[in-house]
Amino acid sequence: NNPPWPAYRGYHEYSFAHATMQSRLPTILGKAIEDATRTLNSQSSEERVVDLVQCIDRMGDLMIDLSGNAKLRPIIDDDEADVALWNKEIAKYFQGKDFMNAPWLFAEAYKYRRLHEAFSISKFWRDYDVFYRQKCDTFSRSSDAVFELSLRFAEPFKINESLSPKEKLEAERLMFLELTQVCLWGNSTDLSLLINMTEDQIKSLQSTGGDSLAATEKNILGNDMHRLWDRVRQLREKTGGRIDFVLDNAGFELYCDCVYADFLIQSGLANQIRFHGKRYPWFVSDVTKKDWEWLLNTMVYGQLFPKASDAERESLRRLGLRWKQYEKEGKWVYEQHPFWCTGYTFWDLHSEAPDLFLHLSRSDLVIFKGDLNHRKLTYDCAAPASTQFEDAIGPMASSAGAPVIASLRTIKSDVVVGLGPQGDEISDELTKNEPGWKISGKYAVVLLSEGRPG
Ligand code: F6P
Ligand code: MG
């Protein structure tokens, strides 16, 4: 049950797979070792220090394996809910494979699993997150865009009552389209690509502003946003419209996701939002439960933005309080299924995690955020850009019970599909004129699959 196109692998020098496996991953791991060393230097208890030194040594072993292109060994049984899935996949498909000749998607995920293993078999450091400092720090440097959104959306969303029903619907449509873009472009600040970003670089990536909306829409190369609205507006008639977010990054992107989800609840388009995060640190900036809690608590109680005005601080606090209330009322639910931290693509979701598939099939819309989720949906393979999204995601579109799926993704890696019948020419043209277009995050896709009734 595989697509007809080859998956990208580390030895494909023409692809981003090569640069990632060869240099990005060792750099990321090096930074992770620095972080753990910083923590080590602040510890006092001998037991904890010795335990952490062992974690750092294991990270060192991983560095040797990664840079020496070692064969992929099984994951040590650390009682994680996903360990059996990992070792099953390794035994079935990747025996004897190394970091460079295994599919990129798998090898990269495997690296993050081994990094977790360095801590998960320790006594005191099981839940240590080597990326946590970075995630918090980047959010604290995003103040302009954070307050731009909080000042606008702290006040509950209300449509002018004097408008006719048609005008009301139009106002709502425009808001939906704008916030879909806010949610989409929130994905361009991803820490795995933006190590050492300056304040100005963050700012330019996070401009959420009204005037630029039409301009940024031009960069959505496969754009099903308007079809998505048609789908979502029908939800209000249903009792119990449920929308799921398969989350990507913590901090600013998660904040944008929540602004969007807040609107979906307030407008009555959805009654419940379910957020799916990761069980442990993943691809540097992905959301864990701790990141989720940190965001909400820092909004309400934090002192992250010393230069903020009272009005700014208050707007953020009000938003945070409302979101916490949604959680209390069960309107927002945070979940973390083990499958999200495996090396499987979503072509295998229905067979390897049938409970999760069934759970998602009960949703009215599942929004997959970001580049990695998009790679997983599309098997991370060299499909032509004109390939229809439904064909590219295989069983996630064609299996009985497949939910309606939207992928909101800024393009940060090789696989690009869903650009329409002229897609191959568009892609060739961009490759000729803007060689880095597939990794810059300047372009995006919003693609929709209608699903299949069970
Ligand atoms: O390492 C490559 C990658 O998986 C790319 O897909 C992307 O550059 C990044 O890491 C993750 O991006 P995102 O956070 O949007 O999934
Ligand atoms: Mg990510």
Return the pLDDT at 188.
83
Return the pLDDT at 201.
56
Return the pLDDT at 216.
87
**303 vs 446: CA distance, rounded Å:** 35
In 3D space, the residue among 403, 337, 400, 411 whose CA is nearest the CA of residue 366 turns out to be: 403
Task: Using the predicted structure, report yes or no on whether residue 436 has a pLDDT greater than 70.
Answer: yes
Kindly state if the Cβ of 407 falls inside 6 Å of ligand 1.
Answer: no
- Decide: 120 and 126 in contact? Cβ < 8 Å: yes
**318 vs 132: CA distance, rounded Å:** 25
Return the pLDDT at 195.
43
* Cα of 93 from ligand 1 centre, angstroms: 23
- Decide: 4 and 100 in contact? Cβ < 8 Å: no
ipTM: 0.96
- Decide: 343 and 380 in contact? Cβ < 8 Å: no
Residue 194 pLDDT level (bands cut at 50, 70, 90): very low
In 3D space, the residue among 431, 386, 380, 434 whose CA is nearest the CA of residue 409 turns out to be: 380
Return the pLDDT at 454.
87
> How do strand 272-276 and strand 405-410 relate by DSSP bridges?
unpaired
Determine which helix (DSSP H) or strand (DSSP E) holds 368, and give its type and residue range: strand 365-369
Q: Is the dihedral of CA 105, 347, 332, 160 positive or negative?
A: positive
Kindly state if the Cβ of 380 falls inside 6 Å of ligand 1.
Answer: no
In 3D space, the residue among 368, 364, 387, 388 whose CA is nearest the CA of residue 376 turns out to be: 368
Task: Using the predicted structure, report yes or no on whether residue 286 has a pLDDT greater than 70.
Answer: yes
Helices (H), 100-220: 104-120, 132-140, 143-153, 165-185, 199-205, 212-217
**433 vs 89: CA distance, rounded Å:** 40
Mean pLDDT of the region 431-444: 94
Residue 240 pLDDT level (bands cut at 50, 70, 90): low
With b for 16 or more beta-carbon neighbours within 10 A and e for fewer, the 186-202 pattern comes to bbbbbbbbbeeeeeeeb
SS3 label, residue 129: coil
- Decide: 104 and 20 in contact? Cβ < 8 Å: yes
Mean of all residue pLDDT scores within the chain: 94
**142 vs 134: CA distance, rounded Å:** 13
Beta bridge partner(s), residue 403: none
Return the pLDDT at 124.
98
Could you please report the per-residue DSSP string of 391-407?
HHTTHHHHSTTPPPEEE
Kindly state if the Cβ of 20 falls inside 6 Å of ligand 1.
Answer: yes
User: In 218-299, where do the E strands start and end?
Assistant: 220-223, 242-246, 272-276
Start-to-end Cα distance in the chain: 19
Beta bridge partner(s), residue 276: 246, 335
* Cα of 409 from ligand 1 centre, angstroms: 10
Task: Using the predicted structure, report yes or no on whether residue 196 has a pLDDT greater than 60.
Answer: no
Q: Which ligand is nearest to the CA of 195?
A: 1
- Decide: 184 and 408 in contact? Cβ < 8 Å: yes
Question: For the chain, what is the radius of gyration of the CA atoms?
Answer: 22
Task: Using the predicted structure, report yes or no on whether residue 191 has a pLDDT greater than 70.
Answer: no
Mean pLDDT of the region 156-165: 89
Q: Which amino acid is at 367?
A: I
Best mutation site among 18, 246, 371 for ligand 1, i.e. most ligand atoms within 8 A of its Cβ?
371
**270 vs 238: CA distance, rounded Å:** 9
Kindly state if the Cβ of 244 falls inside 6 Å of ligand 1.
Answer: no
- Decide: 177 and 270 in contact? Cβ < 8 Å: no
* Cα of 1 from ligand 2 centre, angstroms: 26
Nearest-CA residue for ligand 1 atom 12 is 371
Kindly state if the Cβ of 414 falls inside 6 Å of ligand 1.
Answer: no
Distance of CA 321 to the CA centre of its chain: 24
Distance of CA 49 to the CA centre of its chain: 33
**349 vs 405: CA distance, rounded Å:** 14
Nearest-CA residue for ligand 1 atom 1 is 20
Return the pLDDT at 238.
74
- Decide: 139 and 252 in contact? Cβ < 8 Å: yes
pTM of the predicted model as reported, rounded to 2 decimal places: 0.96
